[in-house]
C-alpha cells in the first residue's frame, strides 16, 4: 500500500469518529497498534498495511477512520500534546507567576519532571515526540501546541504584571517553551543524559528569562 510523501500535504482529517463501542474499540486498537509499531519499526517503515496486520482488520476498515498513516500519527501527536498542555495549563496561573525566584524555578522543575514522566508513560511517547519533530507534514501539530501554551503563560504573566511589555513577554515565553521542549527531546534522543541535571538546567534558564520580564 503506497504511503504519502512526508513533504507533501496529506489529509489529517479523521474520516469518521466512532460512536458505537465496537467501532471505538477498533479506533483505539488502530492507535495502539500504531504506537507499538512506531517503537518496533520506526517512522519510515511504519505503514497502514502493518497497522492493519497488527489489528487484524482490512485496509478499507482502517480507511473508514484514517486516510493515511500521517492522520494516525496526527491523532496520536495531538493527544500527547493535549495531555502535556493540561499540565502546563494547571501551572500557568498569576499566583505562580508571582512566586519568588527560587520557588518559581522549583515549580518549573516540577513541571518539566511531570511532563517528562507523562511522555515516558504514554505508549510510544518518545517516538510520537520524534515524529512531530521529524515529519514535516506534522510540524503544525507541534507549532500549534506551542502557540497555545505560549498564550497560556503570556496571559497568566500579564494578569500578574499588567505593566509588563506584552510583546516581549510573548516572545520570551515562546523562546523559553522551545528551549524547554528541546531539552525534553534531548532526553528521548539520548537516554544516557542525566535527566535531573537536564531538567534543572532547563528550569534555571527558563526561570532567569522570565524573571527579567518582571517590571522593576
Q: How confident is the model at residue 40 (pLDDT cuts 50, 70, 90)?
A: very high
Residues 49-74: pLDDT tens digits? 999 999 999 999 999 999 999 999 99
Assigned CATH topology for domain 76-211? Tetracycline Repressor; domain 2 (1.10.357)
Residues 68-110: pLDDT tens digits? 999 999 999 999 999 999 999 999 999 999 999 999 999 999 9
Whether the model clears a pTM of 0.75, i.e. scores above it, the answer is: yes
With left for phi above 0 and alpha for psi between -120 and 50, is residue 115 left, alpha or beta?
Answer: alpha
Alpha-carbon gap, residue 13 to 139, rounded angstroms: 15
Residues 195-209: pLDDT tens digits? 999 999 999 999 999
Amino acid at each position: 500500500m503506497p504511503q504519502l510523501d512526508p513533504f507533501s500535504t496529506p489529509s489529517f482529517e479523521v474520516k469518521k469518529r466512532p460512536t458505537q463501542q465496537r467501532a471505538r474499540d477498533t479506533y483505539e486498537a488502530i492507535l495502539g497498534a500504531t504506537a507499538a509499531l512506531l517503537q518496533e519499526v520506526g517512522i519510515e517503515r511504519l505503514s497502514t498495511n502493518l497497522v492493519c496486520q497488527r489489528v487484524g482488520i482490512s485496509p478499507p476498515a482502517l480507511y473508514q477512520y484514517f486516510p493515511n498513516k500521517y492522520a494516525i500519527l496526527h491523532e496520536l501527536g495531538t493527544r500527547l500534546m493535549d495531555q502535556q498542555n493540561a499540565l502546563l495549563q494547571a501551572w500557568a496561573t498569576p499566583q505562580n507567576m508571582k512566586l519568588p525566584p527560587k520557588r518559581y524555578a522549583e515549580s518549573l522543575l516540577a513541571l518539566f519532571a511531570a511532563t517528562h514522566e507523562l511522555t515516558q508513560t504514554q505508549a510510544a511517547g518518545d517516538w510520537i515526540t520524534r515524529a512531530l519533530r521529524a515529519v514535516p507534514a506534522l510540524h503544525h501539530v507541534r507549532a500549534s501546541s506551542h502557540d497555545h501554551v505560549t498564550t497560556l503563560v503570556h496571559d497568566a504573566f500579564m494578569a500578574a504584571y499588567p505593566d509588563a511589555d506584552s510583546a516581549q513577554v510573548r516572545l520570551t515565553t515562546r523562546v523559553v517553551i522551545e528551549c524547554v521542549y528541546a531539552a525534553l527531546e534531548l532526553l528521548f534522543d539520548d537516554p544516557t543524559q542525566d535527566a535531573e541535571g537536564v531538567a534543572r538546567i532547563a528550569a534555571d534558564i527558563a526561570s532567569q528569562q522570565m524573571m527579567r520580564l518582571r517590571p522593576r
